[in-house]
């Protein structure tokens, strides 16, 4: 049995211990990378207040070490003379940052519009389709079901389940390709159950593979994380 570590870098932000400006910038940089890797994330803007009295507002592109030293790259709206929706990228060194405001952090609670809206009926139709897909890829019958059917009655869980159904179906089908992994899946997994919980994780017990996705889009699993979590349960 194996359970992966939570991946949400902003867990408890504004709900728990106070974070420094640099911790927030690092967390937002991680979220930007996760969005670049495929997660449908809405990211809040930040305003960085400088010791000079100036301020810069934009999206955190990257935070870390650069040739100019440690600092943050912000994607900002272009200034005077710009055309259309052009954007600027501004580098702000750590040493000139005095404070930071994270605007409307609640946008992290909902996926971006790039993810199609799902529904309980949509999920009920896709569970049998996922089972058929896995059975075909593995060459043996596999059942797929919701670990907690009541999740379909909670609107906040629908999109999380939709993401898990889509990505788990893709990842598990692909994993059956290599002969050694495919053999392990056929031998050890007869049922896949899907859950929504506090954090992403996977465990394998008595032929049942339980996959849990977080309620928060920022902690939904990427394909690489799903692959690694399942591989850990098979070892």
- Look at residue 11 in the predicted model and tell me its pLDDT: 58
Q: Which residues are within 8 A (CB) of 112 and not within 5 positions of it... i.e. 6 or more apart?
A: 40, 41, 42
Q: Which among 152, 73, 163 has a CA at the least distance from the CA of 112? A: 163
Pairing of strands 208-214, 191-197: parallel
Asked if 183 and 144 count as a contact pair (C-beta separation under 8 A), the reply is no
Q: What are phi and psi of 158, to 5 degrees?
A: -60, -50
- Look at residue 178 in the predicted model and tell me its pLDDT: 93
- Look at residue 9 in the predicted model and tell me its pLDDT: 56
The C-alpha atoms of residue 205 and residue 191 are separated, in whole angstroms, by: 10
* 10-residue mean pLDDT series, the chain (235 residues): 48 58 89 93 94 94 90 80 67 94 88 92 93 95 92 90 96 95 95 94 96 92 96 91
The C-alpha atoms of residue 107 and residue 81 are separated, in whole angstroms, by: 31
**pTM assigned to the model:** 0.85
3-state helix, strand, coil in the chain (%, to 5): 40, 25, 35
């Amino acid at each position: 049995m194996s359970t992966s570590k939570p991946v949400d870098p902003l867990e408890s932000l504004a709900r728990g211990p106070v974070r420094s400006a640099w911790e927030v910038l690092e967390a937002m940089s991680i979220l930007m990378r996760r969005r670049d890797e495929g997660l449908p994330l809405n990211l809040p803007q930040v305003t960085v207040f400088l010791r000079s009295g100036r301020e810069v507002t934009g999206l955190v592109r990257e935070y870390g070490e650069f040739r100019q030293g440690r600092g943050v790259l912000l994607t900002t709206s272009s200034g005077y003379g710009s055309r259309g929706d052009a954007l600027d990228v501004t580098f702000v060194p750590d040493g000139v940052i005095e404070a930071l405001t994270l605007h409307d952090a609640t946008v992290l609670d909902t996926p971006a519009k790039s993810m199609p809206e799902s529904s309980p009926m949509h999920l009920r139709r896709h569970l049998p389709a996922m089972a058929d897909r896995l059975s075909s890829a593995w060459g043996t019958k596999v059942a797929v079901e919701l670990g907690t059917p009541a999740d379909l009655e909670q609107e906040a869980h629908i999109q999380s389940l939709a993401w898990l159904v889509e990505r788990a179906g893709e990842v598990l089908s692909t994993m059956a390709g290599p002969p050694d992994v495919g053999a392990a899946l056929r031998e050890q997994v007869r049922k896949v159950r899907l859950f929504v919980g506090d954090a992403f994780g996977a465990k394998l017990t008595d032929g049942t593979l339980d996959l849990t996705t977080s309620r928060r889009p920022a902690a939904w699993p990427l394909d690489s994380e799903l692959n690694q979590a399942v591989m850990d349960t098979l070892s």
